Amino acid sequence: EPEVTQTPSHQVTQMGQEVILRCVPISNHLYFYWYRQILGQKVEFLVSFYNNEISEKSEIFDDQFSVERPDGSNFTLKIRSTKLEDSAMYFCASSTGLGTEAFFGQGTRLTVV
């Protein structure tokens, strides 16, 4: 069964460093998303991406964040100059179309120290 894969599963980084979280969405999906879940809190939407551009982003997704689809299979989330409060589980998701259910990866746990 096709699945969304994320790497790494856990990343530890020092405050102020840049990190890149990687995702391989399901191959025939067209919409891509990043969500995050700070420990003990809700899963929060960060950004959606379609046709090689951001289609919607939340207030959380400020200039510190960027997304890219560098080739036909990968979808990345870059966090510049990480802060302690960026520590969270980051989920990538993809869907076939607008309004269809999203399939999620297993998540990357980011710990900023």
Partner 1 sequence: GDSVTQMEGPVTLSEEAFLTINCTYTATGYPSLFWYVQYPGEGLQLLLKATKADDKGSNKGFEATYRKETTSFHLEKGSVQVSDSAVYFCALLKAGGTSYGKLTFGQGTILTVHP
Contact residues for partner 1 (CB under 8 A)? 4, 6, 31, 33, 35, 41-45, 48, 50, 55-56, 58, 91, 93, 95, 98-107
Give least dist CB 14 to partner 1, A.
Answer: 26
Q: What is the β-pairing status of strands 108-112 and 10-13?
A: parallel
CA dist., res. 92 & res. 48, Å (int): 10
Q: Which residue lies nearer to partner 1 by CB, 11 or 44?
A: 44
Q: Which residue lies nearer to partner 1 by CB, 45 or 64?
A: 45
Give least dist CB 50 to partner 1, A.
Answer: 6
Count of alpha carbons within 13 Å of 21, Cβ hemisphere only?
A: 34
CA dist., res. 107 & res. 49, Å (int): 18
